[in-house]
Structure 1
Amino acid sequence: MLMKIAIGGDHAGFQYKERLIKYLEGAGHDVTDFGPDSDASVDYPDHVHPLASSVASEDHDLGILICGSGNGVAMTANKHENVRAALCWNTEIASLSRQHNNANIICLPARFVAYEYAESLAETFVNTEFEGGRHGRRVEKINC
């Protein structure tokens, strides 16, 4: 299924972001780049908050955030109501974050996974459906 995907992060994730945009667009997805525009040092919240707001308001179906560890972007994105950002470093976690938690943003640790694996994580995340059922009941309890 083709998606509207928001992508962003920080300077440590810039190179992966640029490559993932080409990969995702090549697969037919509509991708919006929330920055940064170079690998110069930036404050990741400046890029994460607009992206997370866009996913929370359903202007985009899913988001992809990339920074050095994935932690900073995940913590920031999860401050937004209706955002469920999942830090993923293997495909099983990426799949389960969608199936069981209905995650709508994947956070990738660029300094800890090779680009090819990051691409596989993003592909798994985008192509995995939420199972609903008992998981839906739990997801409904996440927002404060």
Structure 2
Amino acid sequence: MRGKTQHPTIPKPERQIKGKFRPRRPKSRKEEAEFGPGKTDILVCKKCGAFYWYKSWKARLSDYPELKQSKRIKFVLCPACQMIKDKKYEGEIILETVPSDFKEDIKNLAKNYGKRAIVADPMDRIISIKEKRVKRVTAKRKRGATSRKEFKGLKDIR
């Protein structure tokens, strides 16, 4: 049996076939990221003004290390603005039976929380706050979970 090599540990479809290579390895987590592989240009959101470089969206271009270096700039919609346009969201908080004296405080707390979140990560924002019952729609699931901790004193939180 000198001419043929048997590979008992490697399954038949993955064995190297003469003249061909094994199938490509599975994509890494970075390659299968939520927004696809990284772009080489600087992207600017048409709507909110967020900047994209080094595989993530940032609030300010002044943080870019090679600002003097010439790079192409493209104007696009960032993923968060695209979600708002498509009327999609990842998290929702509904506060029911809120005492009227706390309503304004809770609304201000949510707005301030949203301002801090967008500075830390422009893709992480509060999309809307509705008045009838305090309903907060977020662009990230994680924000919904963390703000539940802030509103834990109220009874009806979903």
- The reply to whether TM is greater than 0.5 is no
Question: Larger Rg: 1 or 2?
Answer: 2
Structure with the bigger RCO (C-alpha within 8 Å, sep 6+) is: 1
How does the TM-score come out when normalised to structure 1?
0.25
How does the TM-score come out when normalised to structure 2?
0.24
